[in-house]
Amino acid sequence: MTTEPAPDAPPRQRIAVIGAGAIGGTIAARLDAVGHDVTVTARGEHLAAMREDGLRLKGGFGTHTAGVTALEALEATPDVAILATKATGAVAALEANRAHLDGVPLLVVQNGLGGERVAADLLGHSRVAGGIALMAANSMEPGVITVTATGDTIVGGAEGARFAALLGEALPTSETPSIEGAQWTKLLINMVNALPAIVGHSVQDVIRDPGLRRVMLASMRETARIGLASGVRFQPLQGLTPLLVRVVAFAPRRIAQQVPLRIKDRLGDVPNLGSTQQSIRRRQPTEVDHINGAVVEAARRIGREAPVNASLVELVHEVERTGRFLPASAVRRLG
């Protein structure tokens, strides 16, 4: 069923979504569905498919074919822009489009920490908000995005209120008082990404495996402990409260493992590959240095180590180099 804009919908805006992959494509399609004029940037077969057949959205947020304008780079200045590339491609994407982003309110929706600060520094203006997407989506077919689990989009920082109102027309959206704290909570949730990418199984199957679940929990423990030691005030996201962050950090394993098990239940029955494995299967660089690697770097800044996350970074890079997934037995030892 295609969603039509309500008769009393807010004024139509020209919105640029830079990077129309799984998350950016979902946001773009939903904004188109509620009546905005949406331009997206993409490359290769995905770009060609959108030009030919539109951007097709399926799954948790319904079915909609968005008639977006699909380009390799922006050709005009939008009213607002959303950067939704992988963290690895953020700087290059901003450089390629900066001529049309001067003074334009920008929302940076990415994994990792501090992407909005990087964008503000590069563009030379402060009209930049941070965003976190808690939905799960796959983009394995050119021009098609499948939402496997719905979830809120969280925004905060400068221009946070603007983007909360805009995205709230199209998606479940809320504003956080601390985008840094929210990013750290999402970083903890994103510890589900590396292991599926290493062994080639879905997130759900990895969490069902007791040995792999121990490793995942160990990476989560490191994330929670380093964040707390760094003075981060974790924000509640997707049922993960500050209290549960402390449970992950310090509770006995038999209790703390309920957190990844709850994440599995929230993902539902549709197999979710995780964004890191999707990148590997598309033979694209992963974000592991901005996810697990961010924990390693944060630990270094306070004179600590994060050995489990450091090992996961190395193993993901090994799979990237070789193109071969590893047996689960090679990973369980880390737990």
Residues of the chain with pLDDT below 70 are 1-10
- 23: exposed, middle or buried (Cβ count in 10 Å: 0-12, 13-18, 19+): buried
Last residue within a domain, chosen from 140, 158, 176 = 176
User: Residue 170: inside a domain, yes or no?
Assistant: yes
Q: Is the domain of 162 the same as that of 32?
A: yes
| Full residue range of the structural domain in which residue 71 is found | 14-176
User: Residue 296: inside a domain, yes or no?
Assistant: yes
pLDDT at position 7, please?
Answer: 45
In 3D space, the residue among 127, 130, 121, 185 whose CA is nearest the CA of residue 155 turns out to be 130
Last residue within a domain, chosen from 176, 210, 226 = 176
Residues 184-224: tens digit of each pLDDT = 999 999 999 999 999 999 999 999 999 999 999 999 999 99
Helices (H), the chain: 22-33, 44-53, 90-97, 115-123, 160-168, 179-189, 194-199, 203-208, 210-229, 242-250, 253-256, 258-267, 275-281, 292-301, 307-322, 329-332
Last residue within a domain, chosen from 149, 176, 203 = 176
pLDDT at position 62, please?
Answer: 94
Number of domains in the chain: 2
Q: Is the domain of 211 the same as that of 128?
A: no
Q: Is the domain of 195 the same as that of 58?
A: no
Q: Is the domain of 168 the same as that of 204?
A: no
Distance, in Å, from the CA atom of 100 to the CA atom of 134, rounded to the nearest integer, reads: 28
Residues 161-183: tens digit of each pLDDT = 999 999 999 999 999 999 999 99
pTM here is 0.84
Whether residue 260 contacts residue 211, with contact meaning beta carbons closer than 8 Å, is answered with no
Q: Is the domain of 67 the same as that of 167?
A: yes
pLDDT at position 10, please?
Answer: 62
At 243, which CATH number? Answer: 1.10.1040.10
Q: Is the domain of 152 the same as that of 194?
A: no
